[in-house]
A = this chain, B = another copy of it.
Amino acid sequence: MTEQLTDIVANLTTGENKTKEAVFVEAIDNLESSELSLLLESLPIAERWERWQQVAQDSQIAVLVHMRSDARQSILEQFSDESLHDLLKDAHADDLIELADTLPDSVVDAVLESMDDRQKQYYDQVTQYGNDQIGHYLDRSFKMFPETARVQDALRAIRKGIAPYTNHIYLVKRGVLTGIVDIDQLYQAESSVVLKSLMLDNLVSIQAGSDLLNATEKMEHCGFSSLPVVDDNNFLIGRLTLRTALELTRMNYESKLMATAGLNENEDLFAPVMRSSKRRATWLGINLLTAFLASWTIGLFEATLEKVVALAVLMPIVASMGGIAGSQTLTLIIRGIATGHISSGNIRNLLSKELGVGVINGILWALVIGLAAGLWFQSQMIGIVIASAIAINILAAALAGVLIPILLNRFKIDPALSGSVILTTVTDVVGFVTFLGLGTYLLL
């Protein structure tokens, strides 16, 4: 958070209501709507609602659009259907697309009903793409001309104003994208020149059905501030800006980061306690099942544990080392999938590299831990048992760390979310079974 915002938040969470009001009035004057969204998201729910009511009605939609959906919902659920409709009466199709998942269906339908046909058509066009496709995140503020139009026609339109991130105009022939023209070239050409003759040599565009990673990668590498987006028939339907690419990239990583703890990327920092507890309970419940599985595995060796209590003392070490080694491999693979470095072509090489690392660290830590445990419990045999279990578990962790995320990804399940639960189950069970099994065999 910028220092400016930090100060504002500090003022809004302490102090009297009168001061807060004044502080927020100043904030409204000085901040962009997306900064106001960030600011509201950073406030506890009650305070957030108080400040929200100070936002002028004609900026409310812009602020809502930039909020993450959970925080936005905390505001929208205070509205009656009627006042929602009032709020949204001047919303554009763009806005409605962003807000739809936090609005009751009946409200969305009613707002659509009151829109003109072009807006409605646009809404339908965009929402046919899922939110994992770039078509869902289109920007409509581009300039488009027939190939046969002339420089003067384009300049006339441009002089009326262009949207941010615009360095190009798009050419179409019966709706189909055929070319891109640099606006600087327009200014430098004779006014009667036909636009087609100014087209850039290569036509870079994005398919609306592309997945987000593909599209944002293309956006980043192309060197343009925005790229045209086309449907399956190459009809020009919108554009993707570098700013949207930045937001999508951030959301992608946030979702990976949050998923490692079973959280959603939209999770509101100040979600109501009951709602937040309920969501987290699900994740705790899933993990409890794996913990019970691990306990059950241990229970199989109750008789051994009764006789050699040292095994009970040492067993968390075996599970923990496997879990840590596995999560290193898992995280490397999850990152590689997110950055686009991993594909079917290099999995085999990766697996053999990770197994190599597993062998080396397996042997190293087997020796260290075996020695330490042997000295601690004054038993060579205990040292041998734990050393073998550590080596086997670290190797199993490397194997699981590569295969689990790749299989999950192939089945379109986010490996960042479920990868670590499955991995921990594997390393716990393998760890306890080898350690207690070897202990039973060698120590009794």
Q: Which residue of B lies closest to A312 (CB)?
A: B312
Q: Which one of A54-62, A99-107, A110-118, A216-224 is at the B interface? A: A216-224
Interface residues of A in 155-177 (CB under 8 A from B): 158-159, 162, 164-167
A25 within 8 A of B: no
B360 touches A273 (CB 8 A): yes
Which of B12, B158, B222, B273 has a CB less than 8 Å from the CB of A357?
B273
A133: min CB distance to chain B, Å = 15
A341 touches B261 (CB 8 A): no
How many Å lie between the Cα of A319 and that of B290 in the bound state?
13
A364 within 8 A of B: yes
Contacts of A249 in B (CB 8 A): 246, 249-250
Which of B280, B334, B349, B350 has a CB less than 8 Å from the CB of A328?
B280
B258 touches A343 (CB 8 A): no
A8: min CB distance to chain B, Å = 8
Contacts of A295 in B (CB 8 A): 313-314, 316-317
A305 within 8 A of B: yes
A391 within 8 A of B: no
A200 within 8 A of B: no
Interface of A is mostly: helix
B298 touches A349 (CB 8 A): no
A9 within 8 A of B: yes
User: Contacts A41-B341, A345-B13: A277 and B360 contacting too (C-beta < 8 A)?
Assistant: yes
Contacts of A1 in B (CB 8 A): 213, 340-343
A442 within 8 A of B: no
| A interface residues, how many (CB within 8 angstroms) | 125
Contacts of A254 in B (CB 8 A): 253, 335, 338-339
A400 within 8 A of B: no
Question: What mask results when residues 240 to 270 of chain A are scored 1 for a CB within 8 Å of chain B, else 0?
Answer: 0011011101100110111011110001011
A96: min CB distance to chain B, Å = 22
A11 within 8 A of B: yes
A164 touches B224 (CB 8 A): yes
A407 within 8 A of B: no
How many Å lie between the Cα of A254 and that of B338 in the bound state?
9
Which of B5, B269, B334 has a CB less than 8 Å from the CB of A257?
B334
A316: min CB distance to chain B, Å = 5
How many Å lie between the Cα of A13 and that of B292 in the bound state?
42
Contacts of A290 in B (CB 8 A): 320
Which of B32, B338, B344 has a CB less than 8 Å from the CB of A221?
B32
Q: Which one of A74-82, A83-91, A122-130, A281-289 is at the B interface? A: A281-289
Contacts of A349 in B (CB 8 A): 13, 44, 270
A368: min CB distance to chain B, Å = 8
A414: min CB distance to chain B, Å = 13
Nearest 4 pairs of A and B residues by beta carbon: A10-B345, A253-B253, A9-B345, A261-B331
